[in-house]
Structure 1
Amino acid sequence: MKKVLITGANGQVGNEMTARLRKDLGRDNVIATDLKIKEGSANATEGIFEELDVSDAKRFRELAHKYQVDAIIHLASLLSVSSEKDPVFAWQLNTGSIINGLEIAKELKAQFFFPSSVAAYGVDAMPRFNTPQDTFMHPITVYGASKYAGEMLANYYHWKHGVDARSVRFGRLVSYKVRPGQGATDYAVAIYFDAVLKSSYECYLRPDTMLDFTYVDDAIDQVVKFLNTPASQLKHFNGFNLTTFYATPEDIANSIKKIMPDFKITYKLDPVRQEIADSWPQHMDDSWAREEWGLNPKIGLDEMTEIMLTNLKIKLKAEGEIK
């Protein structure tokens, strides 16, 4: 990668990826894009930013050709809960934008990357714990279906047109820099915000709901490593499982209590989010990623908790939400 266009740059992963690649490649070699510019944000003030609706193929193409990028990192998508509220729009946006990006990558002979998800699996992926990378894929949400379709489209463009198209399946990514959104497992970010703000959290998932997690810095490091791996070294290109550790809401609460003994967690289930979370594996087998390109994340649950709480206290104090 020498010159990169990033879509969805205002999102959780996009913010972090933009900052990292500007550090690696230089500020003028990373073009951050999103629907709207956020005045004063680092994306806008510390490098090139362009407004882009990724469903607009013409604009998408114009920007990629204007800057002659050799890599497209496509992070823009509608998340799981929002997708269930408007499945037709979600499908059109999530899958349509992947095709747009793949077509442009084909034209420019550019690398293409997008994040898939644990949601691509579905309820009959077996076993539920240590679920292999290659198994039955029957997602029950439009978000998961669009992610799996994206993997298949990326494979098609690789086999048919020689596009260097790659993806990883994320579990839940955690960061203190962006507030929780509408993902089914955004509790894993919200719990830390509420711990600092209120010393308590009401969780919408069962206390025993086990899922995969990765701290966002680890995720970015591993994706950059993956993208810099020579194609000749890979047996697979898409759907690599990427995870660091597995945990339940109760595990995260207990980790917080090690630093904040008075923290309390209560539960009020959201059936929609619980159903989505229950359709995902409890833990993904990431052995192919470790073998083929050296996946090696390092930040575990307790270290992540310390990072989150320490930085959220600084962030929320600076924003006037706590003293």
Structure 2
Amino acid sequence: MLFFRQSRALATSFRTLATTATHPADVAKPRILVTGSLGQLGIGLVSLLRQKYGNENVIASDIRKPSPEIKAQGPYVFADVLNMQQLETIVVDNDINWIVNLSALLSAVGEQNIDKALAINMTGFTNTLELARRHQLRIMCPSTIGAFGPTTPRDLTPDLTIMRPTTVYGITKVHVELMGEYYAKRFGVDFRSLRYPGIISSDTEPGGGTTDYAVQIFHSALKEKSYKCYLGPETSLPMMYLPDCLEGTVDFLAAPNHLLKQRTYNMAAFSFNPREIAAKIKERIPEFEMTYAPDFRQAIADSWPKSLDDSKARQDWGWKNKFDLDAMTDDMLTALKSHHK
């Protein structure tokens, strides 16, 4: 019995060391594979990672053919996260140390394509997680405010709380968080995840999320001077400007393993509702008018937090946003004016 207790204690110690000590993926010059790299986050994240680690060390991948401009910027491979053998060949042949898995169907699109969302968001992620175990890789896969649900506290939602999502997207992201944490504890995998809020970007088109109105409204304001919003005027949600999201993600990826007290962190910058962002735009474009016609996405938004408590991310690895609502509004309008002349 004594031997059994000692063995169990020793095994527990080894598992603790595996998640806190220096990991094989703690390398100064990593070789990084980014899946889903042609999406809203991928293009900018690949660019920022290449600036930090060198073009040749960041391999972009997706299931679509890239534009000539994208392909000219650095290595690109066709990679389907559902094809485990193909992924493993890429990892081995390219000496990959880190995987950033951005392959996912977002909330609104996922509700229209449940089978596809389950396959990509769960099976695809599990494939990359298993590769991280086999080859001792660092793996980062974003989570989302959609992992929360209507029974979650909605104001300053903490990292650890009730998680009962009502969308297939949210359910798959809870799977990501729990499986990643399990692999970290069971196998010592360096798994990391950030719960992203709504991401606002001037660089790419919206990807089918419930918070996409916060991007579409800028295009419509410049082009048509009006916008019909599919959420009600008082629907407050956590948001973040893409440059902050990308910079924070790169910092999180690079953070030494011993600084991380948990595997998944909330990450946010500010919250606003459609009425508030419309008012900010109207200050800058006086003729802009907003109308409202809530659809099925209203119920999704009503199940999500109004604001996030991301104090642990700020404390543990130094997360800090640069853009507030006014600075983001100014930058978005400036960036998009050239597209709508």
Note whether the superposition's TM-score is higher than 0.5: yes
Match of 1:197 in 2: 223
Deviation at 1:303, TM superposition (A): 0.7
Match of 1:107 among 127, 134, 147: 134
The 5 A counterparts of 1:1-323 are 2-42=30-70, 44-126=71-153, 128-238=154-264, 240-270=265-295, 272-314=296-338, 316=339, 322-323=340-341
Given that residues 148 and 170 in structure 2 are in contact (C-alpha distance below 8 angstroms), is that contact kept between their aligned partners in structure 1? yes
Contact 2:39-2:207 within 8 A present in 1 as well: no
Partner Cα separation in structure 1 for residue 42 and residue 69 of structure 2: 12
For 1:281-314, what per-residue CA distance to the aligned partner results, in whole angstroms no more than 9, with x for missing partners?
A: 1001111111111111110111111111111112
- In the alignment of these two chains, the number of paired residues is 313
Determine if contact 2:155/2:305 at 8 Å carries over to the other structure. Answer: yes
Distance in 2 (alpha carbons) for counterparts of 1:234 and 1:181: 30
> Looking at CA atoms only, which structure, 1 or 2, has the larger radius of gyration?
2
1:195-218 Cα offsets, whole Å, 9 max, x none, are 111111110000000000110110
SS at match of 1:283: coil
Q: Which amino acid aligns with 2:38?
A: N
For residues 135-164 of structure 1, what are the alpha-carbon distances to aligned partners after superposition, in whole Å with 9 as ceiling and x for unaligned? Answer: 111011110000011000100110011010
Name the Cα RMSD after superposition: 1.0
For 2:161, the aligned partner's letter is T
Q: Distance in 2 between matches of 1:53 and 1:194?
A: 34
In structure 1, give the amino acid aligned to 2:82: S
Alignment match, 2:12: none
Deviation, 1:59, is 1.0
CA positional deviation for 1:39? 2.2
Amino acid at match of 1:40: P
Q: Say whether the 8 Å CA contact 1:123–1:279 is kept in structure 2.
A: yes
Per-residue displacement from partner, 1:21-70 (whole Å, max 9, x unpaired)?
A: 1111111100000011222232x111000111111111111111111111
Structure 1 residue 98 displacement after superposition? 1.1
Q: Distance in 1 between matches of 2:47 and 2:225?
A: 31
**Distance of 1:41 and 1:191 partners within structure 2:** 27
Aligned to 2:59, the other structure's residue is in SS state strand
Percent of aligned pairs with the same amino acid: 38
* SS in structure 2 at match of 1:130: coil
What's the TM-score, normalizing by structure 2?
A: 0.90
Structure 1 runs of 4+ with >4 Å offset: none
Query: 1: distance between equivalents of 2:233 and 2:147?
Result: 23
SS state at 1:186 partner: helix
Q: Single out whichever of 158-167 and 229-238 deviates more from structure 2.
A: 229-238
> Contact 1:131/1:283 (CA < 8 Å) preserved in 2?
yes
SS in 2 for 1:265: strand
**Structure 2 stretches lacking a partner, 5+ long:** 1-28
Q: Which residue of 1 aligns with 2:21?
A: none
Cα shift readout 1:239-292 (whole Å, capped 9, x = no counterpart): x1100000001111111112111111111111x100110110100111111111
Please give the alpha-carbon distance, in whole angstroms, between the structure 2 residues aligned to 1:104 and 1:19: 24
In structure 2, the residue matched to 1:319 is none
- 255-264 or 113-122, which deviates more: 255-264
Q: Check the 8 A contact 1:235/1:292 in 2, yes or no.
A: yes
TM-score (norm 1): 0.95
- Mark the runs of 5 or more structure 1 residues left unpaired by the alignment: 317-321
